[in-house]
Structures are given as C-alpha cells and as structure tokens.
Structure 1
Amino acid sequence: MTGAADLDTVLGKAVTILRAFRAEDQVLTLADLVRRTGLHKATVHRLAGDLVANRLLDRVDGGYRLSGGLFELGMRASVERSLLEVAMPFLQDLYERTHETVHLGVREGHDVVYIAKIGGHRQAKSPSRTGGRNPLHCTAIGKALLAHAGPDIQREVLSSPMTRRTAHTVVAPGLLRRQLTRIVETGVAFEHEESALGLTCVAAPVLGQGEEPLAAISVTGPTGRFRPESQVGAVRAAAAGLGSTLARRERLR
C-alpha cells in the first residue's frame, strides 16, 4: 500500500477499506477487512455498505469485492487516459513485431505503475498487472524511468534500502548508478531475472520535449526463449514514436 489514509475522517476510513484489497484478492470477508484496516467492525460494515451503494464495492457471497465503478473512475484519470489513447497503436505494433508481453509504465514516487499490458497466448508469467506497481530499481521499465529522472529522485532511490526480489536484483547503489549512466548513453534498459525468476526484459524511455521522462515501454519474455538484445531497435522506435506524437500534440494545444 502506498500512502496512509487519515483514519480520523470518513473519507480516510473508506479509502483504507478500498486499499485493504491486494492484487491477488477476489473477495474479502467483513472479518478480513476489519483485521486489515484495524477499524471497528461496525464502522467497516457501515462504510462498506456506503461503498456498495456508490458502486465502489460489490456485496457477494462470502463478503465484498472491488466494483467496476472503480475501473470507470480510473479510466477517467486524464493524464493516464490521454497517454494510453496515444500509446496504444505503438504498443499494439510492438506486440505484433515481438509477440511477447508489452508494458507501458509511468513513475510514481519510487515505483513504476503499469498503465497498460498486452500479451497473447505465449506471454510469460509475469508479476506485473495493469494498475499494479513494482520498485523502479528491479525492472527494466523502472530503470529506464529512473535513469532520466531528476538527481533528487535518483539520490532518494539510491540512498534508500532496495528490496531484493531475487538473487539477481541489483541492490548495490554503485552498480545501479553505473547502469543508469549506461541507460542514458544507450537509450535502453535491461532486466535479467531481477523482479522475477525466469523473466528478462528490455525497455526504453518516452521522453518529452525537455527530455523529461513521460513514460517507458518494455518488452518482456521468458529467459529460455526471449533475447531482449534482439528487440532493442523495436522498443527504442516505439518509445521515440510515442514521444514524438505526444510532443506534436502538445505543440498543437
């Protein structure tokens, strides 16, 4: 969970209930919500009813689940929605070229948040999901964003404890800093089983007119089949094309 809601307000308590749901959860019982939120049972029961009435939760057999109303609200988020609308043709073209899993992500704090994920029948089993997040330091898409972030952000990430997801995760600040320098020089970032075993990835940043990182695009595949080095040109071209299109739209405003 990112950020803490204010438990002294009704809104804060409602947000805490919604954030109690994790990526792997389908249904949570009232007891689950009470345990995870630390709120009184009567409070959770009352607020869950209000969230159901507003289509943010569904009441189902066994408890509650997140409702489609949340998805509708998420799709109205102007920045992400406009980015996704412009990016989708580039993502689809990249998928057709590679037939591997394609991601579009943006930076939020010290994490990458996935705005889109395209994968077919051959897609590798990946821990990523649309709307989900991973630390910047252990993914190719995150490192592409971090390499072009401001010095303050880089300093914060490099000076903070970095989670080791696998034995291959880079957690040494000096080594990661050298990787970031190399990413700026080459225009691409790589991940070799750093966020999950069996996965390898290549990513490129989508840069704005001032070279600020707007997003990043990646292609991910299984280590036994996918060679990320072979897709450097395709990923760079997709990121550059999206960046040029976004810049053109901005100039026309």
Structure 2
Amino acid sequence: MAGNTSAPGQSVASRVLAVLGAFDRSHRSLTLTEISDRAGLPLPTTHRLVRELETWGALTRRPDTRFVVGRRLWDLGLLAPIQSGIREVAAPFLQDLYAATFATVHLAVRDGIQVLYLDRLSGRASVPVVSRVGSRLPLHCTGVGKVLLAHAPEDVRREAMSDLPPMTPHTVVAPGVLDRQLRQIRQQGYATTIEEMTLGACSIAVPIRRDDEVVAALGVVVPSLGRNRASLVAAAQVAAQGVGRTLYGGAPPPRGV
C-alpha cells in the first residue's frame, strides 16, 4: 500500500490520476482515507481532488460515504475508438436481432479476465438479467464471456480458469470441463449457457470477428433454449457477421435476420 506523502513537484494532473488509479478490480469502492493512502497523497489534498472529481462526475459518493467510479468516466471511455466504433456499428444489427427474437441482446468485449458490456437491449420476456451497460461479469459463466474466453490468448485462459467461482449451482467450475467447452465453442462457432450466471436465464453467444481475430461477442438471453437454439444461433451469427463486415470491410451487408 502506498505511503501518505506526495512526491515533490508532483503535478495536479498526476495527483488526479493517482486518485483515479486508486480504484481497481479489487478496490471498487473506497473511503476518502483509503483513496488517500492508496494514491500516496495527503488527506487534505485527496479531499479537495475527490470533491472536484465528484462535482465533475468522475466519482460518485454512495450513501455509506464510500466512493465509486462515476458514470461520466464510463461515458468518456466509450469514446475510445474500439468501443465507440463497435457500439455505433452494432446498434442497427442489435435492433435487427431484437426484432427477430424479442429477447435481451448484448454486445460485449473482454476486459482482462472479465466481460465488459458495451450495449444491451432488454427483451420482452421476464428473464432475470444482471448485466447492464458498463458492467463487468465473469467470463466463465456468461455466454458472451465464454465466446471471448474461448478466443483469448492462452495466458488469459489460464488466469481466468485459476478461479472459477460458482454463481449458481449450474456454473461450470471444473477447469477441465470448461476447457473442453471452450474447445467446442471454437469448433462450432457459438457458446451456450443454461442458468450458469442467473437462475432462470439461458444464453447463446457468437463472436464478432476482424479477419481471424475475435474482437467482441454478441449474445441473446432467453428463459430457455429448447427448440429455438438453432434459430437463435443463426440470427445471432447473421447479426455478428453484419457488424464485422461493416466495421472492418467497408460497405454494410444487407440487413435483416
């Protein structure tokens, strides 16, 4: 843990970045004192910077007085070329997929060993869905996450499979079983989950590709796969191919699923 004295001559910008850098996957909410300690800044300086960041919207204070990253930072992050480009291009194809299935549809990318949800359209059916735009969930128990994990570098797969917490009684937590599933996903071109993240929710997901590279995943969440599995996979694949071709191939392909 960092000390509590800032370096001589430290710029205002570096102090602000130190405050924001105090937050990470293991420290999603922090008290003012914890921010000060992790940022290596005096408490009065931290208090002033946090107050300004809160006013701007970069940080949000919860009712328990702990601070979390604010929505404005998420909005700013969406301007990054890979995320903004995929979201904008994918939007009409997500609409097409929703119109064809009336199910909740997701657009997601991998962020380390988590899946980051870039966009979501809520379906008509009453299905428990815990994801939201900007949220992160485990790779191993979500449809889009399994697609992204299946195509991730080997070191990422090893890290992800070193810790497989059970989210429901149906979550796959055996590394060997998950590894076999990932190989099957790469072979068949899609992933499925049955109540692995949330009871009462099943999903199918397919990759969005740039040539041979998987850059994102498109998912559909439904109460049950049943007889609709093949049609859901086909509809999602058409949408994903449309996103990929439009994003990396220039002219958009014919739409409609």
- In structure 2, which of residues 174, 183, 190 is the aligned counterpart of residue 188 of structure 1? 190
Give ranges in structure 2 of 5+ residues lacking alignment.
Answer: 7-13, 252-257
Distance in 2 (CA, whole Å) between partners of 1:142 and 1:5 is 33
Distance in 1 (CA, whole Å) between partners of 2:141 and 2:168 is 9
8 Å contact kept, 2:147–2:185: yes
Distance in 2 (CA, whole Å) between partners of 1:68 and 1:156 is 29
Partner of 1:25: none
Aligned-partner residue type, residue 132 of structure 2: R
SS at match of 2:208: strand
Q: Taking structure 1 as reference, are residues 65 and 230 closer, same or farther at Cα in structure 2, changes over 3 Å only?
A: same
8 Å contact kept, 1:190–1:200: yes
Q: State whether structure 2 residue 19 is matched by structure 1 residue 13.
A: yes
Q: Taking structure 1 as reference, are residues 184 and 6 closer, same or farther at Cα in structure 2, changes over 3 Å only?
A: farther
Aligned-partner residue type, residue 83 of structure 1: I
Deviation, structure 1 residue 69: 3.5
Deviation, structure 1 residue 223: 3.7
Give ranges in structure 1 of 5+ residues lacking alignment.
Answer: 23-31
Aligned-partner residue type, residue 133 of structure 1: R
1:105-144 matches, within 5 Å, as 105-122=108-125, 124-144=127-147
SS at match of 1:124: coil
1:69-110 Cα deviation digits (max 9, x unpaired): 334413322210011111111111001111111000111111
SS at match of 1:137: coil
8 Å contact kept, 2:19–2:36: no
1:19-34 matches, within 5 Å, as 33-34=31-32
Partner of 1:245: 246
SS at match of 1:196: coil
Partner of 1:150: 153
Deviation, structure 1 residue 44: 4.6
8 Å contact kept, 1:5–1:16: no
Deviation, structure 1 residue 43: 4.9
8 Å contact kept, 1:201–1:228: no
Distance in 2 (CA, whole Å) between partners of 1:106 and 1:6 is 35
1:112-157 Cα deviation digits (max 9, x unpaired): 1111011144352211111111111111111111112233322333
Partner of 2:219: 218
Deviation, structure 1 residue 225: 8.8
8 Å contact kept, 2:19–2:50: no
Aligned-partner residue type, residue 173 of structure 2: V
Distance in 1 (CA, whole Å) between partners of 2:34 and 2:122 is 33
8 Å contact kept, 2:141–2:171: yes
Identical-pair percentage = 38
SS at match of 2:95: helix
SS at match of 1:163: coil
Partner of 2:179: 177
Cα RMSD (Å) of the superposition?
3.3
Distance in 2 (CA, whole Å) between partners of 1:108 and 1:67 is 18
1:180-215 Cα deviation digits (max 9, x unpaired): 111112111001111111110000011111x11110
Q: Taking structure 1 as reference, are residues 65 and 137 closer, same or farther at Cα in structure 2, changes over 3 Å only?
A: closer
Q: State whether structure 2 residue 80 is matched by structure 1 residue 77.
A: yes
Aligned-partner residue type, residue 174 of structure 1: G
SS at match of 1:113: strand
